[in-house]
């Protein structure tokens, strides 16, 4: 049985249309796959919470008091590794990081009224190791 040429062309166009319809979605699907992989990789990366250098002293002190009311801040006591340097910003960074780490390293646990930063570089120094 012979099939008219017009019928073949229509069938070819329908098949091509089905393939064409799915192709524009391919970049979106690939983006989703790779974005999810990147997100998992970034979330798995170690992060720390430190005080913003622009924070005022009263706020840093309030941050220390709040964080240390929630977590053990013995590392900040005189003679302990994180006491030095004996500065408000250093003590606030250690206390805020202890709180941030204890709460699961969620960005919202390092907000402190917008006076903190999440960093990907380990702020440990000397004998003071940031968890």
Distance of CA 59 to CAs 30, 62, 67, 73, Å?
45, 5, 12, 18
pLDDT tens string 30-75: 444 444 444 444 456 899 999 999 999 999 999 999 999 999 999 9
d(CA 125, CA 64) in angstroms, rounded, equals 19
Q: How much is the pLDDT for 31? A: 46
Give yes or no for residue 6 having a pLDDT over 50.
no
d(CA 51, CA 38) in angstroms, rounded, equals 27
Given pLDDT bands bounded at 50, 70 and 90, which one contains residue 131? confident
User: 106: Cβ–Cβ under 8 A, 6 or more apart, which residues?
Assistant: 100
pLDDT tens string 83-128: 999 999 999 999 999 999 999 999 999 999 999 999 999 999 999 9
Q: How much is the pLDDT for 97? A: 98
Counts of helices then strands in the chain (DSSP H, E)? 4, 2
Of the two residues 47 and 8, the one the predictor is more confident about is 47
Q: How much is the pLDDT for 29? A: 44
């Amino acid at each position: 049985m012979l099939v008219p040429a017009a019928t073949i062309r229509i069938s070819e166009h329908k098949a091509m249309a089905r393939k064409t319809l799915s192709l524009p979605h391919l970049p979106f699907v690939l983006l989703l796959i790779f974005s999810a992989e990147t997100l998992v990789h970034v979330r798995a990366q170690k992060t720390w919470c430190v005080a913003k250098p622009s924070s005022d002293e009263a706020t840093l002190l309030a941050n220390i008091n709040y964080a240390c009311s929630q977590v053990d801040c013995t590392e900040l006591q005189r003679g302990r590794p994180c006491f030095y340097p004996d500065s408000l910003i250093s003590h606030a960074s250690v206390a805020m990081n202890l709180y941030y780490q204890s709460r699961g390293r969620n960005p919202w646990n390092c907000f402190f009224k917008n006076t903190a930063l999440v960093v990907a570089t380990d702020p440990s120094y000397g004998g003071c190791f940031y968890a």
